[in-house]
Amino acid sequence: MAQMQSHAELLRLLGHPTRLALLAELAKGPKCVSDMQGMLDVRQANVSQHLAILRRERIVDYHEAGKLRCYYLVRPGLVDALDKFLNGRYPAVRPTAEEVRRAARSRTECSIPGGSHQRGRAGSSRVDRAAAPGMGRADHWNKVYTEKADKDLSWYQGRPTGSLAIMDRLGLSKDAAIIDVGGGGPSALVGTLLKRGFTDISVLDVSSAALERCRKRLAGRAKSVTWLESDVTRFVPPRQYDLWHDRAVFHFLTDSEDREAYVAAISRGLKPGAHAIIATFAPEGPPKCSGLDVVRWGPTALAETLAGGFSLVECLRETHRTPWGKPQAFAYCLFQFSP
């Protein structure tokens, strides 16, 4: 019941026409306060007040550039789901009389024909199919991070050697904007970058438990990181980065539509000339990770999948040892983005 109480509070907070209008505008991309004031025909003080409420709940956040304060969505997945809900994009499906009778007889939950519980429904829309795996992913990873310690996770590494080897060659400035996709949980990358003096780091993860574990480990230093809770396939980057880093996320995208959504996100999220490091299981690596199927990638296939705008700079091989000593072949591919 306590959880329902907090859900009700969230809905109450969202239930204001100005706040909904602000979220709808921000879903199209980051905006400065003065832009939103013009678009919504609302006084600036009013806009700022509503944005402050949304920020307190970590639904939006801002960047300041001189006197300009520009807002962006911290949880684009939440706003996307809200938009679908409000705009009635969930088809209503009526159970047949026989199904209702059967459900009443068995006193079990009513199974809705054509609903998301059904397997292999033909003709479901992209929106419906994307929603289910997105939610399933968060559940899967939250469970993993709730039940397992760092040393029980096959991907755990005390030092992110492969990623650092490539980053060192890039010679990034300390204020470079870096995003680590799937960087929650035990990942040592964000802590290492903070120690090295990088000041503009964002960590995105589909799992709130993964982000929380990472935040806890960093303790006071967590404040200087931007935390983004989102499925990367639904991520609308709030800004453009100098480096996109992904170790062991892309290989979970076994569906070509999800890979296309990933490519759309990375293309939107990189500055022209910026770099991306994508580390996946190599062709001779394991077929599964965390109980999930993966797609194993070599540099050529990965470059073809990223396609237009991404040129392969180099690809390093690394044999990662799981905490229990099993070797796993990884490929760390570096791309440059020139749209």
* Residues making contact with ligand SAM (CB under 6 A): 137, 141, 155, 182-187, 204-207, 210, 231-233, 247-249, 252, 289
3-state SS, residue 163: helix
CB of 187 to ligand SAM, least distance (A): 4
Amino acid, single-letter form, for residue 141: W
Give the nearer residue to ligand SAM in terms of CB position, either 75 or 247.
247
Contact call for residues 13 and 57 (beta carbons, < 8 A): yes
Which uninterrupted H or E stretch holds 200?
strand 200-205
Residue linked to tokens 């602000």: 22
Burial class of residue 151 in the structure, from the number of CB atoms within 10 Å of its CB (0-12 exposed, 13-18 middle, 19+ buried): exposed
Give the nearer residue to ligand SAM in terms of CB position, either 117 or 288.
288
**CA 159, chain centre distance (Å):** 23
CB of 281 to ligand SAM, least distance (A): 10
CA distance 180 to 333: 15
- Give the C-alpha distances (Å, rounded to integers) separating 147 from 67, 185, 247: 45, 12, 22
Give the nearer residue to ligand SAM in terms of CB position, either 248 or 295.
248
Torsion, CA 290, CA 293, CA 299, CA 303, rounded to 10: -120
Give the nearer residue to ligand SAM in terms of CB position, either 176 or 206.
206
Residue 267: both structure tokens together? 């293309």
Give the nearer residue to ligand SAM in terms of CB position, either 231 or 318.
231
CB of 323 to ligand SAM, least distance (A): 12
In the bound state, the residue with its beta carbon closest to ligand SAM is 182
DSSP class of residue 95 equals P
CB of 122 to ligand SAM, least distance (A): 25
- DSSP strand pairing (241-247 vs 177-181): parallel
End-to-end CA distance of the chain: 50
CB of 251 to ligand SAM, least distance (A): 9
Give the nearer residue to ligand SAM in terms of CB position, either 207 or 267.
207
Give residues with Cβ within 8 angstroms of 138, minimum separation 6: 206, 207, 208, 231
CB of 248 to ligand SAM, least distance (A): 4
CB of 162 to ligand SAM, least distance (A): 9
Give the nearer residue to ligand SAM in terms of CB position, either 76 or 299.
76
